[in-house]
């Protein structure tokens, strides 16, 4: 198991356990996007804490994944980037314009804050008899 995708309420949590090659990354991308539709998720958290290297293709793929997920209606947060990985990413000039957070806990907090009032359990459409 290279990646586990778990559902946690409105969010999907995808943990990457080892470095992925190109085909595995593509499969991962497909899986996540499919599950967003399946579970009607509002947010995706990608945990890369186990990775101590991330090449340009990998970071590009993660960025694409975030953009695709956005189009499917889910916000993506990248969490657990290691210090060395973080600096390597900027050193190589790779643009990762994705939401990021320190770890899983922070990622969940960030998503909850950003999607507040937009949750599936709570209708945003006012109904007759609702007290405002």
Q: Is 34 helix (H, G, I), strand (E, B) or coil?
A: helix
Least distance to another protein, CB of residue 101, Å: 4
Interaction site with another protein (CB under 8 A): 78-79, 81-84, 86-87, 89-91, 96, 100-103, 106-107, 110
Nearer to another protein, 13 or 101 (CB): 101
The smaller minimum CB distance to another protein, of residues 91 and 123, is found at: 91
Mind giving me the DSSP string for 48-86? -TT-S---HHHHHHHHHHHHHHHHTT-EEEEE---HHHH
The nearer residue to another protein, 50 or 90, going by C-beta atoms, is: 90
Residue 6 is inside which H or E element, if any?
strand 3-8
Is residue 94 a contact partner of residue 25, using CB atoms and an 8 Å limit?
A: no
Smallest gap from Cβ 131 to another protein, in A, equals 29
């Amino acid at each position: 198991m290279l990646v586990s995708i778990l559902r946690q309420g409105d969010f999907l949590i995808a943990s990457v356990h080892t470095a992925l090659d190109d085909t595995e990354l593509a499969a991962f991308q497909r899986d996540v996007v499919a599950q967003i539709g399946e579970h009607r998720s509002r947010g995706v958290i990608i945990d890369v804490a186990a990775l101590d290297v991330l090449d340009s293709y990998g970071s590009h793929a993660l960025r694409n994944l975030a953009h695709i997920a956005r189009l499917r209606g889910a916000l993506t947060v990248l969490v657990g980037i290691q210090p060395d990985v973080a600096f390597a990413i900027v050193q190589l000039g790779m643009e990762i314009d994705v939401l990021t957070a320190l770890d899983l806990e922070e990622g969940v907090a960030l998503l909850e804050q950003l999607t507040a009032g937009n949750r599936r359990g709570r209708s945003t459409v006012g109904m007759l008899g609702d007290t405002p």
